[in-house]
């Protein structure tokens, strides 16, 4: 094409149509569809869909499935997106857990690894651990890490999600400014994107969860943070620092000097994040429940409460009351349509959430729709995968 | 025009052009302009502007000003919007103050009255007081209340700003459900609109203050509330209940049952609104300052602090520290670009706001641009006037 000529004409049109047909195919159940389904989904004519399918077939992005013989008349051609064409990885990096999930291009999980960093892991050692876990998970999925099309990473702290730099991560000492993205990009040779973990959990709720257009998502796990969706769009604030519920101080008495924010965990995290729940339970429960909690897993506490243990129920009620106090401040400010609680503690079940709802009642001016996330502890990684899949789009369209 | 015919043609076009020219004229300094200014401001041709001016002149919406003789060549015609053509009123109704301001159609103030309701004023008596103050202020402006083109009202509580009903007003007992709008509409026979007072103060900041596109406005007076602007648009929440900072509870110790929200003033209001500042000052300051405060005006406290009184400075610092605790929770959630403090306490001056900034420093992850409103105690009324002027537009365009 001569310099300065605009990129138009039949070639470009075919590419656009192919991309539209591909998008419709990937949105379909099992990523398979008949031509007539694609005509309906794209609004293109049947000949245009057929031409697009032939472009996609030549690029080996799709394949035709064997036709079923049970049908009367001309058998309908069924095509399938070849999701195995490439892989992406989603990574959740925190102080207490590194999770890597590798999926195909349809987001179907191929391998998962969860590792626990040593408690004294520094920034560079954590980067090393991410690298090793990525390599191992890729191997589990039967690929070389260099074959990954893109990697998405979620991590605590305030992330400049354009530059990929972690600007501030008070809950992870030594993590701010670590060149995580640059190092992984050099190693893998593919796009590596990073965002705040809670923001990614919100992305996941919108992709595969129960997000509404005006949503408050609260991450409740080893840390506490929140993500805000307003009019269907993520709201990040003026400095990408919105939603820092974990740093709200409801504990230091008024007229007493509060500790400096940003030294380690936030005040609300110290009050009611997973570690605080465990300490509260260990100090109030007795054997055998106490022994079952010693490993650090909170599930036995919530099970005992659900089974009617008075002590466990009392601990759960204390936790629910504390959590409701912080959540209420944020609901009074934002008045969201719906509140979804994600993170590890969201797996606690109805005993905890019914108690949170009861305590919230007396703190709010307007009732709120509160629910536990259906994504359990996988929210951050799912959001990271969604971000990686979006980045993989460019490579896909270059094939056409 | 035959039924079913669309409203197009030269008549409609002339009306649209006249409205555009009028809008440009009203935006101009002193609401006066030359034809060439209006050509520039509207993008219309000179003949179109001239035709529009003749339409506006026939409707007596504008008038030509006497031409100045000092100029060389053909004297430039200067026109003026006849803002005196009509009047609107803005009303601020609270437990402790009813303010009515009457302006002309350019928003220029013609009369102001401030009344203090008796401390036991009920809903109906407050409506009666609004009515009497409206009548008196209209008389001060030289008009009959029935001549008002529209009235805007700001009031505490959660207001359904479509129906004009006050849904919930915990800080004003007996105020919810009072048929304020219906009664005034029947009496005046003009549009009467009502909105939450703090929302209107935000409207005023955007009209005549220092609003930015991502703004947190905090009203600090007899009550505390906040208004949020996101991407240049007011954010009201799912139930018009966003920004209820006054109801945040930072006082009840954790693991203690908090009082029910919605019984009178909110916990944060009880801690640090004007009444609480006065109580704190009265209990700690001595004569003669104590005597000067007895009337209820806080100005002597802030003047004494600015003049170096150690006790007054200590009181101001206590108040600043408390206010910073609540403000920090909201900033941690919203991460606004700018924070503007309005309401009566915003007149306190630098001593208070410097202390607030200092205390905020240790509570925030990211520094914030905090400033006192330049609108002083007039924010709510100005917002109500802006709302009334918007409603008056319809009547104006019916003249053309």
Helix (H, G, I), strand (E, B) or coil at B144: coil
Q: Is residue A147 part of a domain?
A: yes
- The stretch B338-362 carries a mean pLDDT of 94
Please determine, for residue A3, whether its predicted confidence score (pLDDT) is greater than 60.
no
Q: Which residue shows structure tokens 């600090």?
A: B220
pLDDT of residue A9: 66
B77-105 per-position pLDDT tens digit: 899 999 999 999 999 998 888 999 999 99
pLDDT recorded at residue B6: 47
CA distance B300 to B304: 6
Q: Is the pLDDT of residue B250 over 50?
A: yes
Q: Which among A207, A196, A261 has a CA at the least distance from the CA of A235?
A: A196
Mapping DSSP onto H, E and C, the string for chain A reads: CCCCCCCCCHHHHHHHHHHHHHHHHHHCHHHEEEHHHHHHHHCCCHHHHHHHHHHHHHCCCEEEECCCCCCCCCCCCEEEECHHHCEEEEEEECCCCEEEEEEECCCCEEEEEEECCCCCCCHHHHHHHHHHHHHHHHHHCCCCHHHEEEEEEEECCEEECCCCEEEECCCCCCCCCCCHHHHHHHHHCCCEEEEEHHHHHHHHHHHHCCCCCCEEEEEECCCEEEEEEECCEEECCCCCCCCCHHHCCCCCCCCCCCCCCCCCCCHHHHHHCHHHHHHHHHHHCCCCHHHHHCCCCCHHHHHHHHCCCHHHHHHHHHHHHHHHHHHHHHHHHHCCCEEEEECHHHHHCHHHHHHHHHHHHCCCCCCCEEEECCCHHHHHHHHHHHHHHHHHHHHHHHHC
Residue A181 lies in a domain: yes
Domain boundary among A57, A81, A105: A81
Q: B355 in a domain, yes or no?
A: yes
Of A325, A363, A364, the CB nearest to B254: A325
**The token pair that represents A20 in the structure block:** 């539209």
- Compute the half-sphere exposure of residue B158: CA atoms within 13 Å on the CB side of its CA: 21
pLDDT tens digit sequence for A286-343: 989 999 998 888 999 999 999 999 999 999 999 999 999 999 999 999 999 999 999 9
Model pLDDT, residue B346: 92
Average pLDDT over residues B326-350: 95
Q: Final residue of a domain: which of A81, A106, A133?
A: A81
Whether pLDDT at A11 is above 80: no
pLDDT at B177: 82
pLDDT at residue B9, as a whole number? 66
Higher pLDDT, A156 or B105: B105
Name the residue range of residue B325's domain. 210-374
Are residues A162 and A140 part of one domain? yes
Task: Please indicate whether, in this complex, the C-beta atoms of B237 and A363 are within 8 angstroms of each other.
Answer: no
Q: Could you report the per-residue pLDDT of B264-278, keeping only the tens digit for each? A: 889 999 999 999 999
A120 lies in the same domain as A37: no
Residue A329 φ/ψ region, left for φ over 0, alpha for ψ in the -120 to 50 degree band, beta for the rest: alpha
Residues A300 and A168 in one domain: no
Tell whether B255 lies on the interface with A, counting CB pairs under 8 A: yes
Residues 330-359 of A with CB under 8 A from B: 330, 332-337
pLDDT tens digit sequence for B291-313 = 999 888 999 999 999 999 999 99
Q: With pLDDT > 90 as the criterion, what percentage of chain A qualifies?
A: 70
pLDDT value at residue B373: 95
Residue B1 lies in a domain: no
- In the predicted structure, residue A5 carries a pLDDT above the cut 50: no
Choose among A240, A243, A261: nearest Cβ to B333. A243
Residue A294: exposed, middle, or buried by beta-carbon count in 10 A (0-12, 13-18, 19+)?
exposed
CA distance A244 to chain B (A): 5
Of the candidates B74, B49, B71, the residue with the CA atom closest to the CA atom of residue B62: B49
DSSP line for B319-341: HHHHHHHHHHHHHHHH--SEEEE
Contact list in A for residue B224 (CB cut-off 8 A) is none
pLDDT at A74: 63
- Look at residue A3 and tell me if it is in a domain: no
Within 8 A of A279 by CB-CB distance, chain B residues are none
For residue B1, what pLDDT is reported? 39
Element containing residue B301 per DSSP (H, E): helix B299-306
User: Percent of chain B scored above 90 by pLDDT?
Assistant: 70
Q: Is B306 helix (H, G, I), strand (E, B) or coil?
A: helix
Q: Which DSSP string do the residues of B340-380 spell out, in sequence order?
A: EEESGGGGG-HHHHHHHHHHHHTT-SS--EEEE-TTGGGHH
Is the model's pLDDT at B171 over the cut of 80? no
**Domains held by chain B: number:** 3
Is the minimum CB–CB distance between B240 and chain A shorter than 8 Å?
A: yes
Q: Give phi and psi for A33, each to the nearest 5.
A: -160, 160
Instruction: For the beta carbon of residue A20, count every other beta carbon within 10 angstroms.
Output: 18
Tokens 């992709």 correspond to A207
The encoded tokens of residue B84 equal 């005196």
Residue A184, token pair as written in the block? 């992984």
Whether residue A146 is contained in a domain is answered as: yes
Based on the domain organization, do B56 and B115 belong to the same domain? no
CB pair distance less than 8 Å for B243 and A366: no
| Residue A167 forms contact with B (CB below 8 Å) | no
Residue A340's CB is within 10 A of a number of other CB atoms, namely 29
The pLDDT score that the predictor gives to residue B5 is 42
| B25 within a domain of the structure (yes/no) | yes
ipTM, 2 dp:
0.82
B238 and B346 both lie in a single domain: yes
Place A29 in a pLDDT band, splitting at 50, 70 and 90: confident
Same domain, A150 and A276: no
Domain assignment present for residue A258? The answer is yes
* Chain A environment of B237 (Cβ under 8 Å): 214, 334-336
Higher pLDDT among residues B125 and A138, named by residue: A138
Q: B334 pLDDT band (50/70/90 cuts)?
A: very high
Q: Does B242 touch chain A (CB under 8 A)?
A: yes
Tell me the β-bridge partners of A100. A91, A113
pLDDT, average across residues B135-139: 97
- CATH number for the domain spanning B62: value is 1.10.10.10
Residue B250 contacts A where some CB pair is shorter than 8 Å: yes
pLDDT tens-digit map of A208-261: 999 999 999 999 998 899 999 999 888 999 988 999 999 999 999 999 999 888
On whether both B222 and B355 belong to a single domain, the answer is: yes
Contacts of B170 in chain A (CB under 8 A): 365
With CA atoms as reference, the chain B residue closest to A260 would be B362
Tokens at residue A188, please?
Answer: 């893998």
Helix (H) or strand (E) holding B54: helix B46-58
pLDDT beyond 50 at A143? yes
Q: For A351-355, B72-76, B117-121, B396-400, which range has the lowest pLDDT when averaged over its residues?
A: B72-76
Q: Do B250 and A254 touch (CB under 8 A)?
A: yes
* Distance of alpha carbon B212 from alpha carbon B233, whole angstroms: 10
| CATH code, domain carrying A344 | 3.30.420.40
* Mean pLDDT taken over chain B: 90
Q: Residue window 188-217, chain B: list those with CB within 8 Å of chain A.
A: 214
How confident is the model at residue B2, as a pLDDT?
43
A219 and A327 share one domain: yes
Residues A217 and A296 in one domain: yes
Q: Show residues of chain B in contact with A241, CB under 8 Å.
A: 332, 335, 365-366
Average pLDDT, chain A: 90
The three-state secondary structure class of B141 is coil
Of A26, A48, A81, the residue at which a domain comes to its end is A81
Q: Which residues of A touch B250 (CB under 8 A)?
A: 250, 254
Considering the domain architecture, whether residues B34 and B172 belong to the same structural domain is answered as no
Is A258 found in the same domain as A165?
Answer: no
Picking from B168, B237, B362, the nearest residue to A261 by CB comes out as: B362
Same domain, B40 and B148: no
């Amino acid at each position: 094409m001569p310099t300065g000529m605009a990129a138009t004409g039949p070639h470009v049109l075919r590419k656009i149509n192919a991309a539209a047909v591909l998008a419709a195919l990937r949105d379909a159940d099992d990523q398979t569809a008949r031509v007539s389904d694609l005509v309906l989904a794209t609004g293109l004519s049947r000949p245009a869909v057929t031409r697009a399918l032939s472009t996609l077939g030549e690029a080996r992005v799709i394949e035709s499935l064997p036709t079923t013989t049970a049908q009367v008349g001309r058998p309908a051609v069924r095509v399938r997106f070849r999701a195995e064409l490439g892989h992406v990885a989603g990574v959740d990096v925190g102080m207490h857990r590194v999770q890597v999930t590798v999926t195909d291009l349809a987001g179907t999980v191929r391998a998962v690894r969860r590792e626990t960093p040593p408690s004294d892991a520094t920034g560079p050692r954590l980067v090393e651990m991410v690298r090793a876990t990525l390599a191992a998970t890729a191997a589990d999925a039967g690929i070389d890490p260099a074959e990954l099309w893109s990697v998405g990473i979620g991590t605590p702290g305030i992330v400049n999600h354009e530059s990929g730099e972690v600007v501030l991560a008070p809950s992870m000492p030594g993590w701010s400014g670590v060149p995580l993205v640059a190092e992984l990009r050099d190693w893998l040779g593919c796009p590596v994107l990073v965002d705040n973990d809670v923001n990614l959990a919100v992305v996941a709720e919108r992709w595969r969860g129960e997000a509404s257009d005006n949503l408050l998502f609260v991450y409740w796990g080893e840390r506490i943070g929140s993500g805000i969706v307003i009019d269907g769009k993520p709201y990040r604030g003026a400095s990408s620092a919105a939603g820092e519920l974990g740093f709200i101080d409801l504990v230091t008495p008024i007229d007493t000097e509060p500790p400096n924010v940003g030294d380690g965990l936030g005040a609300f995290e110290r009050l009611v994040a997973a570690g605080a729940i465990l300490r509260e339970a260990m100090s109030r429960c007795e054997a055998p429940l106490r022994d079952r909690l010693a490993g650090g897993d909170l599930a036995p506490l919530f099970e005992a409460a659900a089974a009617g243990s008075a002590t466990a129920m009392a601990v759960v009620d204390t936790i629910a009351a504390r959590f409701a106090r912080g959540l209420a401040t944020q609901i009074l400010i934002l008045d969201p349509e719906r509140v979804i609680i994600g993170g590890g503690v969201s797996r606690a079940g109805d005993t905890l959430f019914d108690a949170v709802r009861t305590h919230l009642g007396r703190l709010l001016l307007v009732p709120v729709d509160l629910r536990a996330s259906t994504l359990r502890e996988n929210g951050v990684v799912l959001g990271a995968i969604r971000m990686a899949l979006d980045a993989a789009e460019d490579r896909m369209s270059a094939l056409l």
